[in-house]
Structure 1
Amino acid sequence: MNDVYHTYYRSPLGILKICATTQYITEITFIDDETNLEPASEITPLLAAAVEQLIEYFNGERRFFDIAVHQNGTVFQSRVWNELIGIQFGKTISYMDLAKKLGDPKAIRAAASTNGKNQLCIVVPCHRVIGTDRGLVGYAGGLWRKKWLLSHENKIANGVQTLF
């Protein structure tokens, strides 16, 4: 039996709920309604490491994460999430680019749908996928957060204030 532990981190973009087993981080999601938050569980070393790495990311000190993560999904979904991890900090790709990297340009809708099902925001950087027209589209955490994350990374990577 795998117990699931959880904690919260108040990021510059709002509260993040972080869930983990003893082996993997299984969820990092934005919480918009703080009224019914469950109390945090025991803080395991993995949860503590995840919070620390998120703090470093938001402070501009971390460009990639090296915590163990896992989310349940199909073989195709796992391939999409692995491709997302490969998008460099401060860079973006289009949904079409993502589908092509998966070997099937016709899979653009399936890739976009899987992108939206990502439960490991920031660490599995689904925010780095944008529209073919280079516009901001689709982000479960809200487009304002996607814009903030991309601008934050662009500033750290390139010294540029605004991307969008």
Structure 2
Amino acid sequence: MKVTDPADIQRCYQALVARSPEHVGAFYAAVKTTGIFCLPTCRARKPKAENVDFFSDIKEPLALGFRPCKVCRPTENAPDVPPQVARAVALVREQPKRRIQDAELRELGISPELVRRWFQKHHGFSFQSYQRMLRINLATTELNEGRSTTDVALDSGYESLSGFAYTYKKMTGNVPSQGARQLVLHRFASPLGPMFVCASENGICLLEFTDRRMLETEFRDLQRLFKARILAGENAHTREAEVQIAEYFEGKRQQFSVTLDAPGSDFQRSVWTALRAMKFGEVTHYADLAARLGAPNSVRAVAGANGANRIAIIIPCHRIIGKDGSLTGYGGGLARKEWLLAHEGRHGGRPATA
């Protein structure tokens, strides 16, 4: 969102001039005369106040066509999870069945208010809701493994079966039972900004940057297609995806082996399979991809399937460019697309002529 209040604009400009590290992540400075946007700490020469706009998130300047600064590299240095939030999340992961109260966080030097604000901003729910989701996720797994509802309820910290059943149904839409489905959603950092990975018990069904414009629509579609609620949490598939994506960004991985569970039509899946079969760093265009599939007259359908892809990087739709060599659109933003293609070129990719 663009900063419009005159007092806030003045504060942002003063922080930009002072190269204030405390404001990294609080705003991005977009210079109208150069078409470049920066972090508050950028070492580049500062613009005049009348030549800069300020935005509260990275999505807006990218969407408006501003290019990331090559000095401070805002897309690569997007703010990570604050240390206090990371510590709070680590506590929950270590003991997912135990309720961590605000008083305990304060004793550990963690501000409950900071943690609460961060969760509301980045997830739209509270830290306490996050804990409940993890407990319900774990409860579903244990029910599907054959444990009784009573044992699972008591072991999850509920004093009564009715209280557990009420919370379970409120969060999942179903009564506690064996065979229930769920989708888990985990947020993690990447050099191009934070990402969401979502998985069923069978594999990854979504991998997107958290500022993806169509993200809410994709979440709704997945819940409809899987007939399951999305809850915060992790499983073996989300953890493996996070590891492999980190290896990709480090230049150590060119192929992905994590299991996918991507719902789509037979034609969509054939397009996604063709994308995954492309060589690392190779680029192509819709007409060529349609020809590879033996459907040269289905260019528009190929484009639609490419746009319907919910699994970024692993299904490499960023490798599709215009027939004239232009970058064309990308759900994660053109700046990220350019970065990904350059990254693959630096690490052994041999781009084909589109």
Q: TM-score range by the shorter chain?
A: 0.7 to 0.9
The equivalent of 2:181 in structure 1 is 2
The equivalent of 2:348 in structure 1 is 157
Alignment deviations for residues 70-112 of structure 1 (CA, whole Å, 9 cap, x no partner): 2111111111111010011111111111110111222111101
Unaligned ranges ≥5, structure 2: 1-179, 213-230
The equivalent of 2:339 in structure 1 is 148
Looking at structure 2, the residues matched to 149 and 21 of structure 1 have their Cα atoms a distance apart, in angstroms, of: 27
Looking at structure 1, the residues matched to 319 and 336 of structure 2 have their Cα atoms a distance apart, in angstroms, of: 12
Out of 258, 263, 279, the residue aligned to residue 67 of structure 1 is: 258
Q: Tell me if structure 2 keeps the 8 A contact 1:19–1:26.
A: yes
Shift of 1:43: 2.2
Q: Tell me if structure 2 keeps the 8 A contact 1:90–1:150.
A: yes
Q: Tell me if structure 2 keeps the 8 A contact 1:84–1:125.
A: yes
The DSSP-based 3-state class of the residue aligned with 1:27 is: strand
* Corresponding letter in the other structure for 1:18: V
State whether structure 2 residue 299 is matched by structure 1 residue 108. Answer: yes
Specify which structure has the higher proportion of helix: 2
* Corresponding letter in the other structure for 2:190: S
Shift in CA distance, 158/28, structure 1 to aligned 2, threshold 3 Å: closer
Shift of 1:136: 0.5
Looking at structure 2, the residues matched to 77 and 14 of structure 1 have their Cα atoms a distance apart, in angstroms, of: 27
The equivalent of 1:22 in structure 2 is 201
The equivalent of 2:246 in structure 1 is 55
* Corresponding letter in the other structure for 2:266: V
The equivalent of 1:95 in structure 2 is 286
Shift of 1:2: 2.2
Shift of 1:45: 1.7
Specify the structure having the higher radius of gyration (Cα).
2
State whether structure 2 residue 192 is matched by structure 1 residue 13. Answer: yes
Asked which structure has the greater RCO (Cα within 8 Å, sep 6+), the reply is 1
* Corresponding letter in the other structure for 1:62: R
Please give the TM-score of this superposition, normalised by the length of structure 2: 0.42
Q: Tell me if structure 2 keeps the 8 A contact 1:116–1:138.
A: no
Out of 231, 234, 237, the residue aligned to residue 43 of structure 1 is: 234
The DSSP-based 3-state class of the residue aligned with 2:280 is: coil
Shift of 1:64: 0.8
Alignment deviations for residues 102-131 of structure 1 (CA, whole Å, 9 cap, x no partner): 112221111011101100000000111111
The equivalent of 1:37 in structure 2 is none
Looking at structure 2, the residues matched to 54 and 104 of structure 1 have their Cα atoms a distance apart, in angstroms, of: 32
Alignment deviations for residues 122-160 of structure 1 (CA, whole Å, 9 cap, x no partner): 000011111111211121111111111100001101599
Looking at structure 2, the residues matched to 159 and 115 of structure 1 have their Cα atoms a distance apart, in angstroms, of: 22
Q: Tell me if structure 1 keeps the 8 A contact 2:185–2:232.
A: yes
The DSSP-based 3-state class of the residue aligned with 1:11 is: coil
Shift of 1:19: 0.3
The DSSP-based 3-state class of the residue aligned with 1:110 is: helix
- Equivalenced residues, count: 154
Q: Tell me if structure 1 keeps the 8 A contact 2:200–2:261.
A: no
State whether structure 2 residue 216 is matched by structure 1 residue 31. Answer: no
After the TM superposition, which parts of structure 1 deviate over 3 Å for at least 4 consecutive aligned residues? none
The DSSP-based 3-state class of the residue aligned with 1:18 is: strand
Q: Tell me if structure 2 keeps the 8 A contact 1:16–1:28.
A: yes
Unaligned ranges ≥5, structure 1: 34-39
Over aligned residue pairs, what C-alpha RMSD do you find?
Answer: 1.8
Looking at structure 1, the residues matched to 197 and 255 of structure 2 have their Cα atoms a distance apart, in angstroms, of: 17
The equivalent of 1:84 in structure 2 is 275
Q: Percent identity?
A: 38
Please give the TM-score of this superposition, normalised by the length of structure 1: 0.88
